[in-house]
């Protein structure tokens, strides 16, 4: 239902209905993010009952119920996009220019808002749900909603109004077919069965994995897949800037950064807890493996490298990069700012002792996410560069599925074989 066909409701009527809904319906159902089908039905039933009040002079028809729901406790015309499980991002460039990402591809929609004022009011309502203020004095809001979705809103005088919603990613994929999630990377076309088998072996051999990729390449989903093969008796420490991984390992703890706007009192510089602080604290909580959502800052790189270098084998983290070499150089660039007492040669040797493999993900124009490269890091070469050995790579062909190529001759390092022997595992062949 677009802006031109929605029934228009006076502000006083909307306020009156909202008061009655708050009295009848639990607060979690009123939040437009993360509602279940049962929640939606309960909400529609409550609105229908309220509309039957003759004093409102409204009819309880399905279009009217939908209009009330959108105006009172919904996101207006955007609500169906939020509810659509195939939509991962909603990008509002103007009231009549709204794009979504569906199955990995951006596409325009015919959804429209009535005006820029309506877009601003909708953005203000979303910000208020997260306990944030969006106003001329605070024209930018970046917030996490109750279900984990991320919302970024911009209003004049900075620009826009613009609204971006990245819905919480609940996708769970096994590496190999036949797993408990009933969907997997091999069947979806993201990697070959042989690559998946090697990755499972690497996880069980307690390899430290650096996952690289550009925005939207599937890094979070891939790390989530790796953790499914962790030993359930191991204690997993998860550190993230924003809680996205949503792991279900039985023995785990989750730490999330604290931003200045998250608490009300004290000086901002004394209130901020970042990923680096949390990684340092996680080491005091006796993790067997550590999962760091993403390394973005020098402090994060410093503490993550230290943690993975001091006995937390089998850990994983991600970095924004488009190749294995770029991923290592990105880590190196960040670490140098905190580890400037090391020479470049020593720093590279240090990094090469931390990570065992680099996995590079890529999103194709078709929307398919694939493992573009799987490489082993085997120290530093004689010329001072990282000694990377490509184990598998995807060779892309126009309008065709990737060809998966295995590079023969690789043998696991003595360090990895020692870890595997301690686990009672079999060597890779």
The tokens for 237 are 């420490």
248-297 confidence digits (pLDDT tens): 888 999 998 866 555 444 444 444 678 888 888 998 999 999 999 889 88
Name the phi and psi angles at 134, rounded to 5: -115, 115
Higher-confidence residue of 197 and 423: namely 197
Give the domain 77-168 fold: Beta-Lactamase (3.30.450)
Average pLDDT over the chain reads 86
Higher-confidence residue of 186 and 261: namely 186
Can you tell me the distance from the alpha carbon of 369 to that of 174, in angstroms, rounded to the nearest whole number?
14
Give mean pLDDT, residues 45-73: 84
pLDDT band at residue 367 under the 50/70/90 scheme: confident
Maximum distance among all Cα pairs of the chain, rounded to whole angstroms? 85
Each domain of the chain, given as residue ranges in start order, spans: 1-74, 77-168, 185-423
pLDDT of residue 197: 93
Can you tell me the distance from the alpha carbon of 284 to that of 279, in angstroms, rounded to the nearest whole number?
9
172 pLDDT more than 50 = yes
**Cα angle: 26, vertex 29, 33; to 5 degrees:** 145
Can you tell me the distance from the alpha carbon of 237 to that of 233, in angstroms, rounded to the nearest whole number?
13
Three-state secondary-structure class, residue 98: strand
The tokens for 415 are 């360090």
pLDDT of residue 62: 86
398 pLDDT more than 80 = no
What class does CATH assign to 185-423?
alpha beta
Is 0.85 surpassed by the pTM of this model?
no
8 pLDDT more than 70 = no
Which helix (DSSP H) or strand (DSSP E) does residue 369 occupy?
A: strand 369-380
32-57 confidence digits (pLDDT tens): 887 777 888 888 889 998 888 888 88
Q: How many residues does the chain have?
A: 429
Can you tell me the distance from the alpha carbon of 24 to that of 32, in angstroms, rounded to the nearest whole number?
16
Give mean pLDDT, residues 197-224: 92
Q: Which residues contact 309 (CB under 8 A, 6 or more apart)?
A: 350, 353, 354
């Amino acid at each position: 239902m677009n802006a031109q066909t929605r029934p228009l409701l006076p502000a006083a009527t909307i306020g009156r209905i909202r008061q009655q809904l708050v009295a009848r319906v639990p607060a979690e159902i009123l939040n437009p993010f993360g509602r279940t089908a049962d929640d939606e039905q309960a909400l529609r039933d409550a609105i229908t009952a309220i509309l039957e009040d003759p004093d409102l002079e409204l009819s309880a028809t399905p279009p009217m119920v939908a209009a009330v729901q959108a105006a009172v406790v919904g996101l207006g015309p955007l609500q169906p996009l939020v509810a659509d499980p195939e939509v991962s991002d909603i990008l509002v460039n103007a009231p009549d220019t709204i794009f979504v990402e569906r199955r990995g591809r951006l596409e325009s929609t015919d959804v429209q808002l009535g005006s820029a004022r309506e877009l601003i009011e909708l953005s203000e309502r979303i910000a208020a749900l997260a306990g944030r203020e969006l106003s001329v004095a605070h024209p930018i809001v970046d917030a996490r909603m109750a279900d984990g979705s991320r919302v970024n809103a911009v209003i004049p005088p900075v620009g826009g109004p613009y609204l971006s919603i990245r819905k919480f990613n609940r996708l769970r994929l096994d590496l190999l077919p036949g797993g408990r999630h009933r969907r997997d990377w091999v069947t979806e076309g993201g990697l070959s069965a042989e690559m998946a088998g090697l990755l499972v072996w690497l996880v069980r051999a307690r390899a430290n994995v650096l996952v690289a990729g550009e925005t939207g390449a599937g890094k979070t989903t891939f790390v989530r897949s790796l953790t499914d093969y962790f030993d359930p008796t191991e204690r997993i420490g998860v550190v993230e800037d924003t809680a996205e991984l949503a792991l279900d390992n039985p023995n785990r703890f989750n730490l999330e950064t604290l931003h200045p706007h998250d608490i009300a009192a004290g000086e901002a510089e004394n209130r901020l807890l970042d990923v680096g602080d949390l990684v340092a604290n996680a080491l005091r909580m006796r993790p067997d493996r550590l999962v760091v959502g993403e390394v973005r800052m020098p402090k994060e790189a410093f503490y993550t490298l230290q943690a993975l270098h001091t006995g937390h084998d089998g850990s994983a983290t991600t970095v924004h990069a488009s190749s294995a070499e770029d991923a290592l150089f990105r880590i190196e660039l960040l670490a140098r700012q905190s580890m400037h007492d090391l020479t470049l040669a020593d720093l590279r040797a240090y990094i090469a002792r931390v990570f065992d493999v680099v996995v590079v993900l890529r999103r194709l124009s078709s929307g398919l996410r694939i493992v573009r490269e799987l490489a082993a890091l085997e120290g530093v070469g004689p010329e001072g560069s990282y000694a990377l050995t490509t184990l598998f790579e995807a060779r892309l062909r126009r309008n065709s599925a990737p060809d998966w190529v295995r590079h023969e001759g690789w043998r696991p390092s003595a360090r990895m074989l020692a870890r595997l022997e301690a686990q009672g595992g079999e060597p890779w062949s």
